[in-house]
Chain A
Amino acid sequence: MGSHHDEYQVQPGKIFTKPFFVLLALVVVGFALIAYRFFAGVGAVTGLSDGYPWGIWIAYDVATGTAFACGGYALALLIYIMNRWKYHPLIRSALLTSVFGYCLAGFSVMVDLGRYWNAYSFFLPTRWQPNSIMFEVALCVMTYSMVLIIEFLPAVLYTLEQSQWRWVRESAHWLYPRLLPDREALHSGLTVVSKVAGHVQVRLDKVLIFFIVLGITLPSMHQSSLGSMMIVAGEKLNPLWQTGFLPLLFLINCVFIGYATVMFESIVSSYSFKRPYEVHEISGIARIVPMVAGLWMAVRFGDLVWRHQIPAIFAFDMNSCFFLLEVLLIGGGAFMLLSKKNRLSPRMLFVSGAILMLGGGLFRFNVYLIGFNPGAGWSYFPSFAEFMITVGIVALEILGYLVLVKIFPVMPNPKKHFEEAEEETELVGDAVPARMFAGK
């Protein structure tokens, strides 16, 4: 994939900006509370109870957060399965979001687990319960996090290979001879690192397609399992959401949320990094979203008709209101993208992306929390600490993204791909093993 590297560029700019410190403050608060949770227990920091053992850590960080992190998956579907190579420049930033989304979802589960010290059993196949949905989700999320990291690795290796190690050299120079007696050894060590990185990079490129295939398979598996997880809740889940089609709904839902996230993220990062808007790429993605969302709506309403739940939609109680909100947001966001004019407007792309993320996320919240009723008397609202932990984790995601795009070549290279955007396939055609796999 060597020739791919000029598709991407390191975002120029300072790392230590004002947003950096604001986010860092939120991260520190969040992680201090996490530390407190490990001393004082889950009950001390959350609004969780026996009735609601899953709160926002699962409903947001895992169920919704991994859907937002499905940009990598949705783009991989488009690029590698549908063979649309013009979107390839977008994949690294989407992958980076996915890496953070998934790793931190796994981390949230560790925070949420009451007896986290038993989690090591997960690595002992003799203790597996392969019929469990939760086991499947855990296995897939963990493996996928690893696959995502490997998929992102080329950017890291490229940087290691190309790096002049200026910062390291400068600090070594400053330290010498105070703490660092042998400056030359460090320098030759750095050269070795660069060489090894270059060496590994070539090898990795050859097998990367295997991980890409895994990276498409695993989310298909566990995103549907996230739906199956709440089928198990039985009649505790309101009939507006409780259906055997939940796995399919979650799977389709994560695809259009993934695209919406790519749109949202592209516009926001273009705006904040003062880069040109990637309107051409994301307008192509935006064209697909109404189709996927339409398919989702068809399954959703077909299922409701089939189960005779249509009257429940218009009951205008809390559940029906949230159902209507969810459908209006998803339908509205998708509807906006039907117009070509809207698809070419960064403003409308941002608005529809945000609305779709909100609506798609609300669907997952509805399934996991709002439509879930464990019995009379139980109520749940996240506690302050619980909310701040989630905020801290989200802040860490954004912070990591902000920092890493300034270190690794992640963002699309505007010079490279805006000039040749129209020629799509010619641009990235050569020397891509994945292309051969895709059969073109």
Chain B
Amino acid sequence: MGKEAFLREGVSRRDFIKTCVAATAVMGLPYSMHTKVAEAAQKANKPPVIWLHFQECTGCSESLLRAGHPDVASLILDMISLDYHETLMIGSGHQAEQSLHDSMKANHGKYILVVEGAIPTKDKGIYCKVGGTTAIDSLTRAAEGAAAIITIGTCAAYGGIQSAPPNPTGAVGVRDLIKNKPIVNIPGCPPNPYNFLSTVLYYLTFNKLPELDSMGRPKFAYGRKIHEHCERRPHFDAGRFATAYGDKTHAEGYCLYKLGCKGPATFANCSVQRFNDAGVWPVSVGHPCIGCTEPEILFRKPIAEKLQIHLPTPPDTYAPAELGQKGPGVSPLATGVVGIAGGAALGAGAMLTKKLPSGEEGHEKHD
């Protein structure tokens, strides 16, 4: 399918706004911001985007084009000026290379560089070449004039499967090579397309990059562990675990932790944002999380290996256990007044006792 076919049908106003609202929500922005997001998305001067592919499977592009709203892909193509994308562009050969060269020259310092795939560094990077240029060289050249770099997928972000031991090609992520440009990592295998889309829209709306965590991931999407919002979390808290695929515990929808779920250590919004616009994600269909947004987990820990939980997040249902003074405490005024009142009552009682007759004939005396 060519680019024209993608764009021929266009985007309805309704779908356009719907997508903008969804993206606004993903970014964690107030609902009222969606008009601003939509305005930004409609701006005439679309930011030029150069999309480079290195050691990868194109799954990220597929995810972006196929998954979700059918219009997301076309929206992306409408919103931005995609000047170079090896799997989407019509041109080929020298023509394509010329387009890349022209765009980089014309938009120097303004374009967004999107990188998909890891970069091999061993043997001067000869294991990945496009148009006779190694991946390192293409990246270095393209990064030089980029305003910002967005890495899509775990390969571009951290090296991904290519970098898994023994890493024969010496593959690394973009952040290991480019140090002088702002880099936003959208890891995932593949990442949720809305996380990428929202990052782009954020940039278009606010003209800056979103807040990032220590791994360079936007906090709005990767700020919390999927475990925290997992629909199977109550089973985890209650100690109900699926012990084997297909058995009763698995069929009952119990927590997949013992099957190797990496949710308790994986920062991503999969459990909330989900995939394919149908509300599904791996855990919902019975497969444990493989930790694809975590460089230390994906392809480094076996899928079935049970995870050691180092940073447990307590469920809401635990009683608070923090120590220290709680409640308003004792005020000197109140203690004093209670003491005086108690003392006065005792004193009055004692006085009355003294005045009361001790014998039976008392009442007659009193008369």
Total B residues in contact with A, Cβ cutoff 8 Å: 31
Can you list 14 residue pairs at the A/B interface with Cβ under 8 Å? A46-B328, A48-B327, A276-B367, A279-B363, A345-B357, A347-B358, A350-B352, A377-B324, A379-B326, A379-B329, A381-B330, A384-B333, A387-B337, A391-B341
Contact surface of B with A, Cβ cutoff 8 Å: 319, 322-331, 333-335, 337-338, 341, 349, 352-353, 355-360, 362-364, 366-367
Q: From the candidates B325, B331, B360, name the one contacting A383 in the complex (CB within 8 A).
A: B331
A244 within 8 A of B: no
- The answer to whether A384 touches B327 (Cβ under 8 A) is no
Q: Given B323, B326, B349, which contacts A49 in the complex, CB threshold below 8 Å?
A: B326
Give the residue of A277, A351, A387 whose beta carbon is less than 8 angstroms from that of B363.
Answer: A277
**B325–A348 CB distance below 8 A:** no
A166 at the interface (CB under 8 A from B): no
Nearest CB of chain B from residue A439's CB, rounded to whole Å: 33
Residues of A within 8 A of B (CB): 43, 46-52, 267-268, 270-271, 274-279, 344-348, 350-351, 354, 375-384, 386-388, 391
A268 and B352 contact, CB distance less than 8 A: yes
With beta carbons under 8 angstroms apart, the residue of B324, B352, B364 that contacts A276 is B364
Q: Which residues of A contact B338 (CB under 8 A)?
A: 382, 387
Pairwise interchain contact A346-B327, C-beta atoms closer than 8 A: no
> Do B334 and A347 have beta carbons less than 8 Å apart?
no
Report B-chain residues with C-beta under 8 Å of the C-beta of A345.
357-360, 362
Main secondary structure of the interface of A (DSSP, over half): loop
Q: How far is the CB of A59 from chain B (nearest CB, A)?
A: 13
Q: What residue in chain A is nearest B326 (Cβ atoms)? A: A377
Q: Contact at A354–B349, with CB atoms within 8 Å?
A: yes
Cβ-closest chain B residue relative to A268: B352
Q: Provide the bound-state CA to CA distance between A386 and B327, in Å.
A: 14
Q: In the bound complex, do residue A51 and residue B326 qualify as a contact, i.e. CB atoms below 8 Å apart?
A: yes
Contacts of B329 in A (CB 8 A): 47, 379, 381
A278 to B335 alpha-carbon distance, docked (Å): 38
B326 touches A279 (CB 8 A): no
B327 touches A52 (CB 8 A): yes
A377→B323 contact, CB < 8 A:
yes
Which residues of B lie under 8 Å from residue A275 when comparing CB positions?
Answer: 366
Contact partners of B325 in chain A: CB under 8 A: 377, 379
Q: Select A277's contact among B319, B323, B352, B366, beta carbons within 8 Å.
A: B366
Q: Which residues of chain A are within 8 angstroms of B319 by Cβ–Cβ distance?
A: 375
- B356 and A350 contacting across the interface, CB-CB below 8 Å: yes
Number of cross-chain contacts by CB at 8 Å: 99
Tell which of B327, B335, B341, B357 touches A379, judged by Cβ atoms closer than 8 Å: B327
Q: Chain B residues near A382 (CB, 8 Å)?
A: 334, 338
- Sample of 11 further A-B pairs with CB below 8 A, known A277-B366, A391-B341: A46-B328, A47-B331, A270-B366, A274-B366, A276-B366, A345-B362, A377-B322, A377-B323, A379-B330, A381-B329, A387-B341
Residue numbers in B under 8 Å from A388 (CB-CB):
337
Residues in B neighbouring A387, C-beta threshold 8 A: 334, 337-338, 341
Given contacts A271-B352, A345-B362, A376-B323, contact A384 B331 (CB under 8 A): yes
B328 and A271 contacting across the interface, CB-CB below 8 Å: no
B334 contacts A381, C-beta separation under 8 Å: yes
Chain A CB within 10 A, most for which of B319, B362, B366? B362
Nearest CB on A from B271, distance (A): 30
- What chain B residues lie within 8 Å of A276 (beta carbons)? 363-364, 366-367
Asked whether, in the complex, the Cβ of A271 is within 8 Å of the Cβ of B334, the reply is no
Q: How far is the CA of A388 from the CA of B341 in the complex (A)?
A: 10
Bound-state CA distance A143–B256 (Å) is 55
Docked Cα-Cα span, A51 to B355, in Å, equals 45
Cα A81 to Cα B329 in complex, Å, equals 47
Determine whether the beta carbon of B362 is less than 8 Å from that of A279: yes
Residue of B nearest to A355 (CB): B349
Q: A350-B352, A375-B319 are in contact. Are A49 and B328 (CB under 8 A)?
A: yes
Q: How far does the alpha carbon of A51 sit from the alpha carbon of B331 in the complex, in Å?
A: 17
B355–A271 touching, CB < 8 Å? yes
Q: Which residues of B contact A347 (CB under 8 A)?
A: 353, 356-358, 362
Q: Give the distance in Å from the alpha carbon of A347 to the alpha carbon of B359 in the complex.
A: 8
State A47–B330 Cα separation when bound (angstroms).
8
A346, B356: Cβ atoms closer than 8 Å? yes
B1 → chain A, closest Cβ, in Å?
Answer: 61
Q: How far is the CA of A351 from the CA of B322 in the complex (A)?
A: 46
Expressed in whole angstroms, the Cα–Cα distance for A348 and B338 within the complex equals 27
In the bound complex, do residue B335 and residue A381 qualify as a contact, i.e. CB atoms below 8 Å apart?
yes
For residue B367, which residue of chain A has the nearest CB?
A276
- In the complex, the answer to whether A270 meets B363 with C-beta atoms within 8 Å is yes
> With a CB–CB cut-off of 8 A, which chain A residues contact B359?
344-345
For B360, the closest partner residue in chain A by CB is A344
B364 cross-chain contacts in A, Cβ below 8 A: 276
Q: Is the CB of A384 within 8 A of B324?
A: no
For the complex formed, measure the closest distance between the CB of B12 and the CB atoms of chain A, giving whole angstroms: 48
Which A residues are CB-close (under 8 A) to B367? 276
Chain B residues contacting A384 (CB-CB under 8 Å) are 331, 333-334, 337
Cβ–Cβ < 8 Å partners of B355 in chain A: 271
**B85 CB to nearest chain A CB (Å):** 57
Instruction: Find out whether the CB atom of B366 lies under 8 angstroms from the CB atom of A380.
Output: no
- The residue in chain B whose Cβ has the minimal distance to the Cβ of A272 is B352
How near does chain B come to A348, taking the closest CB pair, in angstroms? Answer: 7
Give the distance in Å from the alpha carbon of A46 to the alpha carbon of B330 in the complex.
11
Query: Is B327 a contact partner of A378 (Cβ separation < 8 A)?
Result: yes
Task: Please give the distance in Å from B319's CB to the nearest CB on chain A.
Answer: 7
CB distance from A127 to the nearest CB of B (A): 27
The reply to whether B327 and A380 form a contact with Cβ atoms under 8 Å apart is yes
Assuming A277-B362, A391-B341, is B330 touching A351 (CB within 8 A)? Answer: no
**Nearest neighbor of A52 in chain B, beta-carbon distance:** B327
Q: Hey, which chain B residues are within 8 Å of A49, CB to CB?
A: 326-328
CA distance A382 to B335 in the complex (A): 8
CB contacts (< 8 Å) of A274 on chain B: these are 366
Contact A51 B327 (CB under 8 A): yes
3 residue pairs, one from A and one from B, having the closest CB atoms: A49-B327, A277-B363, A344-B360
Residue of B nearest to A382 (CB): B334
Complex Cα–Cα for A46 and B366 (A): 44
Chain B neighbourhood of A344, CB < 8 A? 359-360
Decide yes or no: A47 and B352 within 8 Å by CB, A277-B362, A348-B358 being known contacts: no
Shortest Cβ distance from B357 into chain A, in angstroms? 5
